Each structure stands twice: as structure tokens, then as C-alpha cells.
A and B are shown apart, each in its own frame.
Chain A
Amino acid sequence: MQGYILKRILIAVFTVFAVLTVVFFVFRLGPADPVAVMLPPNATPQDAENLTKKFGLDKPLMTQYGNYLKNAFKGDFGASFRFNEPALKVLFERFPATLQLGLAAFFISVIVGLSIGIYSAVRPDSMVDKFGRLFALAGMSLPSFWVGVMLILFFGVFLRWLPIAGRGTVLHYIMPAFCMSLYPIALITRLSRSSMLDALKSDYVVMARIKGVSEFYVILLHAFKNASIPVITVIFGLFGALMVGSAVVVEYIFSWPGIGRLVMESYFARDYPVVQVFVIFVTLVVVTLNLIVDIVYAYIDPRIRYQ
């Protein structure tokens, strides 16, 4: 088990290093120059030179790379070009907002997705199952930016039940969290339903029922425990996806002051340090989550442990 975990950690470290390198070169070798983007139309060549020097962009690329790696290991990713503050600080100022929204969406996804999925598998072709399948189809196919706009127009403008944008009260979470969780709910519903259907047909479930185990325990302890491996993989993966993919679109539409919106704005402003620190941060989160999933796998499924 220890060897297995060590191997996984080494792979994770290598992944982070690879991402650090790719991120650096992708942004530096792109056509857009941050100095050109940041300068106003009336800036003089002297202004451009000053700004280039200030951000260290006048040095050779490999020197910049060396400094970047050296500083990255110290946790220093440079100062944001836009905000004139350390990029890591800018990111962490905005991270709690994304984390809160991500957690809200995550719990909604897990609770709703698993409930519908398990119930649909236990009562196939019931109303809940039919609704669940329809919802899953819609959730998979409707883009979140469209859903977001529709939610704003219906619940915000037409009914005036919910605040449209920003962050403040519990009610501010409802629309963006729902919008973010739509796809994960659909995915979890479909996956948990199909896994549960397989598990419910298995011999050990039939045996448990013959032995007179109550239906509640049959479903949750015997069937669901065995059906949960693919679901766990998806759930953990989803948390990372919620913070990367969905957050960017949803935070923009709902003016949620999180890191998704920050990275989008920073990308368009060519604020390299912030974009870099975002990518590295997300990589760390995803790699850590995957590491946890691997360890949990090994714990749940002895076959993986023995391999």
C-alpha cells in the first residue's frame, strides 16, 4: 500500500512540474504581448520599455523560465500586471468565493444526482425515473451560459424571486450553484443509475434479499457500496471540473467574484502571473483529488491494493 501511494505521489509531482513548464511556454510563445495589451493607445515607446522592464519581460526567455521555476518553488509567482499585487494573493482573495460556490454546487450535484440515480434504479420506469432521465438528458445537453441567462430572466427579472448577480446572501447562491450543478447532476444520475441497475441484479444482492436483509440495507450497503467506485471517480473529478470549467462561465454570467472570472479577465488582459498561478493551483487541486481517489480506490477495492 505504501509503495502504491509513493508511486502515485511521484506521478503527481511530475505532473505539476510538467504543467508549470507548459504554462510558462504557452503564454510566452503566444502572439499577444502583455505590455502591448496593457498600454493605452497614447503610451509612448518609453512607456512600453519601462513596463517591459518592470515585468522582467526584457530578459531572455530561458532566463525568465529559470527565474520563474526558482520563484515558483518558493511560492512566488510574480506580481499581477493589472493589480500590482502578488498573483498568489490576488488568486487567494478570490478563491473563497469559488470554493463556496463550488461546494454548494458539489453538494447539490451529489445529493440530487445520487438520490435520483439510486431511486431510478430501484424503481425503473417510475415517474421519478422518467423525470430523472429527462433531466439528465437536458443537463447533459443544455449549455450552462444559456441556462444561466434563462434562470436570470425567469427567476430574477420575471418572478423577481432571486437576486440576479453578485454575492451576499444565501439566495445569491441558488441560481449560480444550480447552473453549475446541472451537468454534474445529470452525469451522476446516469452513472449511479446504470451502476446500481447492474449491482441490483448481482448474485450477492439476490442472496442478501433471500437472507431477509431489509431493503434499505440491501440498497445502500450491499448494492451501492459496490456500485460506488465509478461514481466516486466521477464525483471527485467533478469537483475539479466545477472549479475550472463551469466556474469560468457561471461566474462571468452571475458576476460571481471568484477565480473563474478572474482568470478569464486576466487572460484577456494578458496578466500572465495570474493565469499561471490559476493553472498551477487548479492542477494541484485536480492532482490532489486524483491522488485521494486512487487511495480511496485501493481502500474500497482490495484488488487494486494487491495489484
Chain B
Amino acid sequence: MTRRRMFRQAVCAVLAAVAIMMSAVSGAQAASGDTIKVGIPYDLSTVNMLEIKLAGDIPVVLLMHQSLLIPHPITGDRIGVLAKSFEILEDGKKIKVEMYQGAKFHTGDPVTAHDVKFTYEEGANPSNANMLAGALDEIEDIEVKDDYTLIFHFWEAYAPWEELMWLGICSKKYYEKVGPEKFRSRPVGSGPLRFVERRIGEYVLLETVEGYPFYAPEGYPEESYSFKYLKIMTIPDDMTRLAMLETGELDLVGRIQPHQLKRLKRNKHVTIKKTDQVPSLVGIAFLPYTDPIMMDRNLCLAIRYGINRQEIVDKILLGEGYPLYMYASRAELGYDPNVVFEYDLEKARGYLKKSGYKKGTPLTFTYTSLVPNAPLIAALIQQYLQRVGITIKLQQLEEGTAVTYTRNRDKRLGHMRLYQWPGSRDPDLRLRLSSLSTSAFATVTNRPRREEYDKLILAQTREMDKAKRADLIRQIQDINSYDAIGAILYGQTMIYGMSDRIDYTWTPKEAYFPHLQRIKILK
């Protein structure tokens, strides 16, 4: 056999092997079977409800657990799952909870009031460094009356108490049996999916629980699973995640940016859905501690009227959003579509003339990569304000540095900062932590009607009557509108894409993938 012939045969063999491998992988990629793969951009910090570190951990962890209240998958309103009824006692200082009997953990043990108490106490335990601990400080004590009845004692009446009732209940018995280490790596809950495996940096694998929910809570929608496993995969790069959606390697991807839509829409195997009923807010914080000029009402109004929000929505979000002028997005309590600061260049210039701003003085505008398209938005705002007559110096900071400066009220953060609020249903925490002048995180501590403003914020926290509370929130918003210290820009539509073999609909009012157990396999 000549060398040339041997070489030719070797090449043929290699090509044949490659072809076999390629056909094998094509088949493997197409057949995902009864496993649903969901792509998320971050690595979960934990699968343990008691040690939540990132807001993004919550939707995954909650799949394994059941809560006293959950959002209804269709309306988004809270409904009782473990809780059968709530009774407000002593003007809101106590909440009596009666639980359903029959709910079970994946170990088979019943879910009782003792487990609820254990979960809330461990969640608030500083040694667990749970991000929810701050919010749970509102609870003074939890009194267990019997196995299925308990009373939450609050330090003071707490109007947004429902915001604390969604913690995934953990099994006290299991925790005490296996200890914190094992519980951290193999958590047990009572949710629609059970934990199977976690590979840090790769995925979390969950399995549906047969016969769930074992009991029939009132208002809880009927669940029937059409898949066996749910794999939450960490794919940090946006382009890679969307490419995987296109090839069917992923079934569901959320938080798709508008500029990425064009390509996806061409793929007939990808279904795109959208909703604006999610908490979403991008705005500019004014920082008077850097320079008191940022409290000059005329300058603040000049900035508010000088920014063309509709154009930002049209040009940068490609229409996938809506201009926003107040501190609540469409899905949040307190949203008022009548609050509007229409773009008006002449009005803005008029306000600037009346302000104490000296022409040519640069105001530093800080942004980080956390806000999608931040450099474009910052450049556009610089242009708008330039037209008004305000000189803007742009500054990009790494997110960690910006967060540290914010917490320390460091002047290096500049005069204004572009920020994104992940959102919640209720404005209480945001008002008390970022607006109340005595809060360590308030950017404005000496607004003109400070006392009245602070009083209103504290009053809305304690007001148990919903109508009266809504009125207090509106009064707070009126002061915000008048003082104009800060400018809200827009709310963004949630765009999510899925392969054509499944169907899923986002639950309104939720910021992260909720109710993934409701994914249906179509083919």
C-alpha cells in the first residue's frame, strides 16, 4: 500500500468519524424529551431558602417550596396556599394565620405552624446572612397556637404584611435531622418541584412531584405537569443564551433585550411573548450630597422636562417599554398614569434660567453596565441636557464601586446616577429605605418639606385601610412631583422567548420567572 493511498484512507476514516459524531449530536440536541431547560444569566448563590443572597435565587428556590401566600399564576394577585385564612388583629399589630391541613414536605412530613415559625426565625437569623432578614425585622415574634394556627406579632401595625408571607417554608424536622450543611446542599421543601442536583456554575435540576399539591387549597389553580425535569441552566453570555434558544438547546429564556428580537423573530421555532405588567423602572437619582445645586427645584425641573422619554423608548428600547414619570411602574401599587412630565424644551430652558446653575459647570452623570444599554441612554441624556443648556460629564463606573459609593454617600458618585430598580409590588420598603430622610441610604436628607414627607412615609407603613393608604402614597408622590429631586425615565416590557415545543405565560406583577412548573410541552 502506497503512502498516498494510506493517507487518503486515513482522511476518509476521519471524515466518516466526524460525520457520525455530527449526526449523533444533531439527534441528541433535538431530543430533549421530558426535560425543560431554562437559561438564566447568573449563577445561583444558593438553593437554600434560609440563606438567600440574590433576588435571582428566589424564583428557583420557591419552586421547591410552598408559601403561605403565592401569586396567582393568571391574575398575579396573592392567594393562600399553605394559609387557609388570615385575620388582622389589634389594628394590624398581629396577623393570625390558619393553615391548611394536608400539605406535606417532599419527605412526607406534614407542613405545620412549627415549620413556618422555624423558617421565619432562621430567615431573620443574622448568621444566615439572608437578604430577606432586613424585611423580616418587622416581625417581633411568631406564636404557634397549635399545629396549624399561628400568630405573627409585628412591632407596629404593618400594612404591607402580605409582602412577608411568600417565604418558602422549610422542614424543621429535616433541618434538625441533617444539619445546616446537608440542608444547604440538599434542601427539602413542599413545593411543586423537588431538588435533584445542583452543579455550581452549570445548573440546578429539579423534578416534578407526582400528585402535587396533595390537598386542595381554595383558589389554587389546578396543576398538571407535562414534563418530568426542570433544568435551570446558567448561561452568562446573552448571545450564547439566545443562540441556544434558537437551536432548541434551551426551551425558555427571559429578559430578552429589544435589539435582540429582530434575529429571534426570523426563527420560526422560537415563540416570543411580552408583558408590561412586571415591575420595571429606570431612573436618574439626583445626589444633593455631592452638590446642593441638585436640590435646586428649577434645575431639577429643567432636567425633568428636558428629557424626551418617548424618544428613549422608541430609539433605544425600540418601542418595548413606556415613558414613566413616577416612582411606581405599571405593575406596582401607587402607579398613576396621570403623572406626566412631557418633554418640553422651552419649558426646560425657562426653568434653567430661573435656577442657580452656572452655564458651563459640568454635572457628572454616572452609569454602570447594570442598566441595559446604559452608555446609549447616558449619551442621549447628555445630548438632551446639552440642548437645555446643561453641561454633562459622563462617568462609567464598575457596579461594585458605584454601589459602594452609593452606600457611603461618596461624592465621587457625581451629581446624578442612572439606576434600575428591580421592583416589587409594594412601595413601602423603597420609600422607607431610599426616601425617608433618616434612612442610611437616602440620597436626599433635607428636602424642603422633609418632616411632612417623612411623616407620610411612616404613616403609609402603618395604615391598614387600603384606601387610606393609597391616598397617603398619592400624597407622597405629589411631594415627589413638586420637589422634582430625581427623574424617572421608563419602564421596560418583559420580553421572553421559548422554543415552539413549549408554552409558558409570565405571571403578572412578578419580576423573575414565576411558576415554571406551569410550562406545558406542546409537542
Task: Name the distance in Å between B462's Cβ and chain A's nearest Cβ.
Answer: 18
Q: Which of under 10, 10 to 19, 20 to 34, or 35 or more describes the interface residues of B?
A: 35 or more
Q: Does the CB pair B129–A252 fall under 8 Å?
A: no
Distance of A268 Cα from B473 Cα, bound (Å): 36
Would you call A48 and B407 a contact (CB within 8 A)?
yes
Is A46 in contact with B134, judged by CB distance below 8 angstroms?
yes
Interchain CB contact under 8 A, B401 and A156: no
Q: Which residues of A contact B233 (CB under 8 A)?
A: 166, 255
Q: Mask for A16-58, Cβ within 8 A of B = 1, else 0?
A: 0000000000000011111011111111111110110010000
Given A84-B51, A152-B243: A54 and B127 within 8 A (CB)?
yes
The closest CB in chain A to the CB of B424 belongs to A42
Supposing A83-B200, A261-B236 touch, asked if A171 and B21 sit within 8 A by C-beta, the answer is: yes
Is A93 in the interface zone, CB < 8 Å from B?
yes
Shortest distance between the CB of B252 and any CB in chain A (Å): 15
B45 and A41 form a contact (CB under 8 A): no
Instruction: Name the A residues within 8 Å of B405 (CB-CB).
Output: 31
Contact of A153 with B243 in the complex, beta carbons under 8 Å: yes
Q: Is the CB of B433 within 8 A of A41?
A: yes
Cα of A157 to Cα of B245 in the assembled complex, Å: 10
Which residue in B21, B133, B234, B421 is a CB contact (below 8 Å) of A41? B421
Which of A39, A44, A164 is the one whose CB lies under 8 Å from B240?
A164
Interface residue A262 (Cβ < 8 Å from any Cβ of B): yes
Q: Among A30, A44, A149, A254, point to the contact of B134 (Cβ < 8 A).
A: A44
With A167-B202, A255-B235, A265-B43 known as contacts, the answer to whether A33 contacts B184 (CB < 8 A) is no
> B237–A252 contact, CB under 8 A?
yes
Answer yes or no: A165 CB below 8 A from chain B CBs.
yes
A-B contact pairs, 14 of them (CB 8 A): A32-B400, A36-B403, A40-B131, A41-B430, A41-B433, A42-B134, A44-B137, A47-B131, A157-B246, A163-B25, A167-B202, A257-B199, A262-B201, A268-B400
Chain B residue, CB-CB nearest to A54? B129
Given contacts A164-B240, A165-B240, A253-B240, contact A270 B400 (CB under 8 A): yes
A161 contacts B401, C-beta separation under 8 Å: no
Decide yes or no: A94 and B200 within 8 Å by CB, A41-B422, A164-B243 being known contacts: yes
Please give, as numbers and ranges, the residues of chain B lying within 8 Å of A94 by CB-CB distance.
200-201
B55: interface (CB < 8 Å): yes
- Knowing A31-B401, A252-B237, A255-B237, the reply to whether A47 touches B133 (Cβ < 8 A) is yes
Contact, CB under 8 Å: A40 / B55: yes
Q: Counting CB contacts under 8 A, is B66 at the interface?
A: no
Render B378-410 as a binary contact track against A, CB cut-off 8 A, 1 for contact: 000000000000000000001111011111100
CB distance from B130 to the nearest CB of A (A): 9
Q: Contact check, B201 vs A261: say whether CB atoms are below 8 A apart.
A: yes
Q: Give B25 Cβ to nearest chain A Cβ, in Å.
A: 5
Most chain B CB within 10 A, of A31, A41, A46, A50, is at A41
Residues of chain B within 8 A of A161, CB atoms compared = 22, 25-26
Within 8 A of B (CB), among A47-86: 47-48, 50-51, 54, 82-84
CB distance from A45 to the nearest CB of B (A): 5
- Nearest residue (CB) in B for A159 is B22
Pick from A32, A97, A253, A258: contact of B401, CB below 8 A.
A32
Total interface residues on A, CB under 8 Å, equals: 56
Q: Is the CB of B55 within 8 A of A33?
A: no
Of B28, B127, B201, the residue contacting A257 (CB under 8 A) is B201
Known contacts A50-B126, A253-B237; A42 and B433 CB within 8 A of each other: yes
Q: A43-B134, A44-B134 are in contact. Are A37 and B202 (CB under 8 A)?
A: no
Query: Contact between A156 and B247 (Cβ–Cβ < 8 Å)?
Result: yes
Q: State A160–B247 Cα separation when bound (angstroms).
A: 7
Contact of B200 among A93, A165, A253 (CB under 8 A): A93
B-side interface mostly: helix
Q: Which residues of B contact A47 (CB under 8 A)?
A: 126, 131, 133-134
B134 touches A160 (CB 8 A): no
**Contact A39–B131 (Cβ < 8 Å):** yes
**Chain B residues whose CB sits within 8 angstroms of the CB of A44 once the complex forms:** 134, 137, 433, 440
Q: Inside 8 A of B421's CB, which chain A residues have their CB? A: 41
> Do the beta carbons of A164 and B247 come within 8 Å of each other?
yes
> In chain A, what residue has the closest Cβ to B242?
A157
Other than the known A47-B126, A265-B236, what 11 A-B pairs have Cβ atoms closer than 8 Å?
A31-B405, A32-B398, A37-B400, A37-B404, A84-B45, A84-B53, A152-B243, A157-B243, A164-B249, A257-B202, A269-B400
Contacts of A97 in B (CB 8 A): 201
B369 nearest in chain A by CB position: A268
Contact with B along A261-278 (1 / 0, CB 8 A): 110010011100000000
B475 within 8 A of A: no
Chain A residues with Cβ under 8 A from B133's Cβ? 43, 47, 50
Check A152 against B236 for contact (C-beta < 8 Å).
no
Q: Are the CB atoms of A268 and B399 closer together than 8 Å? A: yes
A14 to chain B, nearest CB (A): 31
Q: Is B244's CB within 8 Å of the partner chain A?
A: yes
| Chain A proximity of B324: nearest CB distance (Å) | 18
A40 to B434, CA, bound (A): 12
What's the least CB distance linking B268 to chain A, in Å?
14
Of A31, A48, A93, A162, the contact of B25 (CB 8 Å cutoff): A162
Question: Cβ of A82 and Cβ of B243 under 8 Å apart?
Answer: no
Task: Report B-chain residues with C-beta under 8 Å of the C-beta of A157.
Answer: 243, 246-247
Q: Are A252 and B236 in contact (CB under 8 A)?
A: yes
Please, how many angstroms separate the alpha-carbon atoms of A41 and B420 in the complex? Answer: 11
Distance of A61 from chain B, by nearest CB (Å): 16
- Interfacial chain A residues near B441, Cβ < 8 Å: 41
Residues on the A chain within 8 Å of B22, using CB: 161-162
Question: Is the pair B404, A255 in contact by a Cβ cutoff of 8 Å?
Answer: no
Please give the distance in Å from B53's CB to the nearest CB on chain A: 6
| A307 contacts partner chain B, Cβ-Cβ < 8 Å | no
Whether B340 is near chain A, meaning CB under 8 Å from some CB there, is no
How far in angstroms is the closest Cβ of chain B from A243? Answer: 16
Contacting pair A38 B53 (CB below 8 A): yes
Residues from chain B with a CB closer than 8 A to the CB of A156 are 243, 247
- In the complex, which residues of chain B have a beta carbon less than 8 angstroms from the beta carbon of A261? 201, 236
Report the minimal beta-carbon distance from B411 to chain A, rounded to whole angstroms: 13
Are B407 and A152 in touch, CB under 8 angstroms?
Answer: no
Per the 8 Å Cβ criterion, residues 31-56 of B in contact with A are 42-43, 45-46, 51, 53-55
Residues from chain A with a CB closer than 8 A to the CB of B243 are: 152-153, 156-157, 164
Q: Does A234 lie at the interface of the complex (its beta carbon under 8 Å from any beta carbon of B)?
A: no
Most A CB contacts (10 A, CB to CB) among B244, B398, B400, B403 go to B400
Contact A42 B135 (CB under 8 A): yes
**Contact check: which of B51, B240, B398 meets A152 at CB < 8 Å?**
B240
Report the 4 A-B pairs with minimum CB-CB distance, sorted nearest first. Answer: A32-B400, A257-B201, A50-B126, A44-B134
Given A39-B131, A46-B137, A82-B53, verify A169-B400 contact (CB < 8 Å): no
**Is the C-beta of A90 less than 8 angstroms from some C-beta in chain B?**
yes
Q: Which chain B residues lie closer than 8 Å to A258 at the CB level?
A: 201
